[in-house]
Every structure is written in C-alpha cells, then in structure tokens.
Amino acid sequence: MSGDIISLYRARLAAEKGKIIKDWGGKLRVALAYPNAYRLGMSNLGFQIVYRLLNDRPDVVAERFFLPEGPEMSLYLRSQKPLLSLESQKPLYQFDLLAFSLSFENDYPHILTILEMGKIPLLQEDRPDAWPLVMAGGITTFLNPEPLAPFMDFFLLGEAEENLVPLLALLVDTRPREEDKTALMRGVMGQVKGLYIPSFYTPAYAEDGTLAAFTPQVAGAAETISVPKVNEAVFAGTTVSTSMVTTPHVEFGERTLIELGRGCGRSCRFCAAGYVYRPPRSHSESHLRACMEIQMQRCSRLGLLSAAVSDTPGIEDLTSGILARGHTFSVSSLRADTLTRRLLMNLKASGQRTVAVAPEAGSERLRRVINKHLTQEQILTTVRTIAECGDFTLRLYLLMGLPTETEADIQEMVDLIKIIKHHMIKASSPRGTMGRITLSVNCFVPKPFTPFQWFPLEAMESLKQKQKRLRTSLRKTGGIRINTDIPKWAYVQTLLSMGDRRVSRILVKLHEWGGDWRRALRYSDVNPDFFVYRPKGLEERLPWDFMDHGVSKGHLLHERDRALRAEESEPCHVGSCFRCGACKPDMPHKGGYQGAA
C-alpha cells in the first residue's frame, strides 16, 4: 500500500515544473503543510511564496504535505502508514519543523487530521520534548490564532517576507544543540518579530464568560505583539511574488500566478484583508512588466492576483503586452468603477468568459453601511459596458446578513438583479445574445480587526429564509443562476473566526467524532452560540486584542459608528492620511481615533 502512495507522489512530482528537490544532509528539515487537498494548496500563491522563501536558504530543506483526498486517503487508511512528504516521501515525524500555512478557518479541522496521520500528538502539552516543532502562519493566524493555540508550539504572525528568514536563521543555529523545546522557545522569544508562543500566556475569564485577562507567564513575553508587514518602500523595490511550481493537476492549471499588489485601500468595513494588510502596497508598472516578461518565458498563461486587479496602475497596457506576446491571462477580481472597456476587450481576447464584480449589497443604503463606494448607476454603467464588449457571463458577488440589513434591503437586492438583467439584455441584443448572470450569495461572517468585529452572525434560520426569498423572487427571471453558501458553514466559520482558546475543545471533539459538526457542537462543554450569536461589548477584551496591526481600535469603533449611520468614509490615501494609524507605525495605537474622517 505504501508503495502505491509513493508511486502516486512520484507521478505527481513528474508533472510539476519548478519543484525543488534537496539532499537532507546537514539541513534544517521543514515540513510545509497546506491543510487541504494538493489541487487547492498548489493554487495558493501564499503557500508557494513560503515554499520559495524556505528553499532559498541553502541550509534548509522544505518539503510539502497536503491533506490526502479520495483514493489517496483510502490508501493511507488501509495501510496505516504515516503521512509522507511529496518530495522525498519521508514521514512527517522525521522533520524538525512542521509549518502550517493557513488561509481559511474552515481548514482548521484538517490540521488535527494531518497531525494524527503524521503520528504527532495533537496537543502541544502532550509533546513537550518531541519533535518536530509545530507552528502556523498565514492570514487567519494574524486575525485570531486562539482557537488553534493549544495545538501549536508557536505562531509566526504577519507577512512571511518580514520574519520567516530570521526565524530560520535562529532555528538552524539552535536546533542541533537544543533538545528542550521550552528552552528553545525562550531563546528565540523577542528575537523574531511577530513570534507568538501560546503556552507563555494564560487567559482568564469573567463570570459572564468574556475574556477578563490575557497574561504573559514568562519573563520577556510581550503583552502586545506587533504584526510585521513589508513596508511600502521595501515592497516597491522587491521582486514581484510569483508561483514557482506549475502543474496541470491544480485549480488554476498550468499558469504562473503573479501578485500585482497587496492589501486594498477601499476600506470596505466587512473585509479583514483590507485592514490587516494596511497600508495597501503596489508594485510599479515597470516592475510588473519586467516580471511578466520573465514569467512568459516559462509559461504561456498568467494569473494576475490582487484585491482589485482593475485598480492596478497601467493594467490595460500590461495586459495588452501579454496578448502581444501571444500569451493569455486571467484575473482574480475587478472593481466595477475601475473596469474599463479596454481591459474588458483584453479579457475577451485572452479567452476569459466570465467577468466578476461585487456590488456586495443590493441597496444604496447598505452599500454606504459597508463603505463600498459604489452607486447603482456605476454598477449599471459597468454592466452595459461588459455586455457591449462581449458575450460574457456576469458573476455578481453579494452578501446576505450584513449589519443593519432589513427585508427592504433584500427586496432591493432582488430589484437590482432584475435591473441588471434588463440592462444586459438591452446592451447585448445587437449581437442576438441574452446575457447570463451567476449570483454568488454568501452569508456575512464577522471578522477580527474590522469595524464589524463587534457584530454577531445573523441567525441561521433567518439567513435560510432570506436565501429562499431571493430564489423565489428570481424564479421566473430567466438566465440567472443562483449559488448560495450553507448557513451552517457560515456558523462554523464565525465560531472559528471569533472564538477564543476554549473553541479548541470543540475542535478536539470534532476530530474524535469523525468530523460530525452537529454532534461536536451539541455535546461540547463550550457553548458555541456565545461566540457566534452574541454581540460583543465595545469595552470588552477580545481574544485577538493582544495583537497590534497598526490600526487603532478607536478608528475601528469610529467606522462602526459611521456604519450605523450609513455614512461612507474616505478610502486610504497612503502616506498622506493618518486616520487609522497604519501609515504612522511610530504612533501609539492604543488611543482613540486619529484625524478626521
């Protein structure tokens, strides 16, 4: 059976271009794990960036691990063999460091599966001197690491380009001489930015269940951990991040992914990435063009990634240059108010058949609540332009259950979709086409470090009723496909996003009961509704308050208040606006709101 797994992995490797195979001799051995399937992990640019950073060091060997699926999982279950690495097919427990790269909270249960399959005890306290060290990084960890705290030796919070290399240097120097992991952690504490060691901190809870205190238990452990980011000047001068491994066996196929920029200055109040990646940073057009020239020598298809590709300076010229070389491209997301006719024609020439825009909310009032900066007229103008440029399918991203949402807002969502359909038909009629619309309607999930972090999830039954109303109202409107998420999974994501260290006990029960969420939630000694349905007090200590992203809590409160008044605020003006504090890192962030809105 293990031979079948090895054959499978060798075939997978043979299809890859850009993989790194290293000899183990004298090197720090890092197991880089993505807690989901190979096809998803290798489509994740952040995972690929970390894979490159690790293997750029000659004294480090990094090999990949993924969650087995389908026949691969069956092979493991039948053979009872430990989880093997992709590159050398060595067992997980032989590595010095196990590093999880996390992008989505719903992958948390898979972490426990990987630990068990790797023959590693789940809880940090059960493996005091056993190796490997277990760590996690990625955006969900610097939103709220606490639900995973009991499973990790440490977290590396922040952007990997800033702190991963210093950590590796310390581990390479220390690991051969230090077998006591607690002593090792004491030694590196304070020497690496964004290093958080959960076992060095103790939470205490008030009678009402809220977090009363979060206290360092080890001398030198900081009360507040600053989350490092690559600053604008360094980001502008660094090499553009790209994927290094391509393979036909992934979601994005054989294409190179290119990061156009990081963060977003639009200041949508529900969007965690828009806050924790502040200030937004972008590469220059010349840097991007040079990067694209290099990547087109190794791959004929490029995937352009950023929070809003259409906001990228020079994007029309850049995409025209790709087409002029006989190559193609795809884009991750677009802004309705910056999507131009020329960019649309380039998308059409590149073979893209779906254009996605995100009104998020149906009513003008609710778009002001979320600070979307998008009017109905701008939406309709963009829809007409899309329909005139080609026979695109229009994908609309919408949120349901947003703070202050009413039945009237749901009706306005229905009305907006019907109006959009009308304008598509009218604009595309000269070509004899009708226009197709796909709706992706997701439940709003509150996220840490946003102005909406104090709001709860809307009740699941209410969300189900709203979804039913939307489907019923659009049933007779042809050419519209509706995809809605499942409120149960929005509940789970909220629990994992907003929970504290006690939520780890639910994850353990879930793992013991084979992934049965209903049973784990019902029989846990922790009340999940406390984290999901309870509005947070404005003076309450939140589980993630020990982290500092540079954005003041006073600013988030101010934006929350403006949301309740349905008032928009300005987008980021990087370098000339000091409202939130992110552009002034030497400013104390514990005080109130800085500057005028």
| pLDDT score recorded for residue 176 | 59
The residue assigned the tokens 């440029």 is 389
pLDDT digits (tens, 9 = 90+) for 306-359: 998 999 999 999 999 999 999 999 998 889 999 999 999 999 999 999 999 999
Share of the chain above pLDDT 70, in %: 95
pLDDT digits (tens, 9 = 90+) for 280-298: 988 999 999 999 999 999 8
Residue 363, phi then psi, degrees to nearest 5: -100, 150
| pLDDT score recorded for residue 594 | 33
For residue 38, name the pLDDT band (cuts at 50, 70, 90). Answer: very high
| pLDDT score recorded for residue 387 | 93
Region of 84 (left: φ > 0; alpha: ψ -120 to 50; beta: rest) is beta
State whether the Cα torsion 182-187-190-194 is positive or negative: negative
Strand segments, DSSP code E, in 170-224 are 195-196, 201-205, 211-216
| pLDDT score recorded for residue 590 | 39
Residue 210 has pLDDT above 90, yes or no: yes
For residue 432, name the pLDDT band (cuts at 50, 70, 90). Answer: low
Residue 591 has pLDDT above 80, yes or no: no
Residue 130 has pLDDT above 50, yes or no: yes
Q: Say whether 10 sits in a helix, a strand or coil.
A: helix
Candidate from 5-9, 208-212, 254-258, 448-452 with smallest mean pLDDT: 254-258
Residue 597 has pLDDT above 90, yes or no: no
CB proximity list for 574: less than 8 A, separation 6 or greater: 232, 265, 279, 280, 583
Residue 1 has pLDDT above 60, yes or no: no
| pLDDT score recorded for residue 422 | 94
Interatomic CA distance for residues 509 and 17, integer angstroms: 40
- pLDDT, greater one: 154 or 478: 154
Q: Say whether 452 sits in a helix, a strand or coil.
A: coil
Residue 2 has pLDDT above 70, yes or no: no
Region of 18 (left: φ > 0; alpha: ψ -120 to 50; beta: rest) is left
pLDDT digits (tens, 9 = 90+) for 66-110: 999 999 999 999 999 999 999 999 999 999 999 999 999 999 999
For residue 554, name the pLDDT band (cuts at 50, 70, 90). Answer: very high
For residue 3, name the pLDDT band (cuts at 50, 70, 90). Answer: confident
Interatomic CA distance for residues 157 and 578, integer angstroms: 24
Which two tokens mark 426? 């009218």
Interatomic CA distance for residues 328 and 300, integer angstroms: 7
| pLDDT score recorded for residue 235 | 73
- Angle (CA) 132-136-140 rounded to 5° is 165
Evaluate whether 466 touches 410 at the Cβ level (below 8 Å): yes
Q: What is the mean pLDDT of residues 298-304?
A: 93
pLDDT digits (tens, 9 = 90+) for 466-504: 999 999 999 989 889 999 999 999 999 999 999 999 999
Evaluate whether 210 touches 540 at the Cβ level (below 8 Å): yes
Half-sphere exposure of 431 (CA within 13 A, CB side): 13
Q: Which domains does the chain have, with CATH numbers?
A: 2-158+160-226 (no CATH), 232-495 (3.80.30.20), 550-597 (no CATH)
Instruction: Work out the mean pLDDT of the chain and round it to a whole number.
Output: 92
Q: What is the mean pLDDT of residues 415-432?
A: 89
For residue 275, name the pLDDT band (cuts at 50, 70, 90). Answer: very high
For residue 174, name the pLDDT band (cuts at 50, 70, 90). Answer: confident
**Can you state the angle between helices 487-498 and 503-512, rounded to 10 degrees?**
130
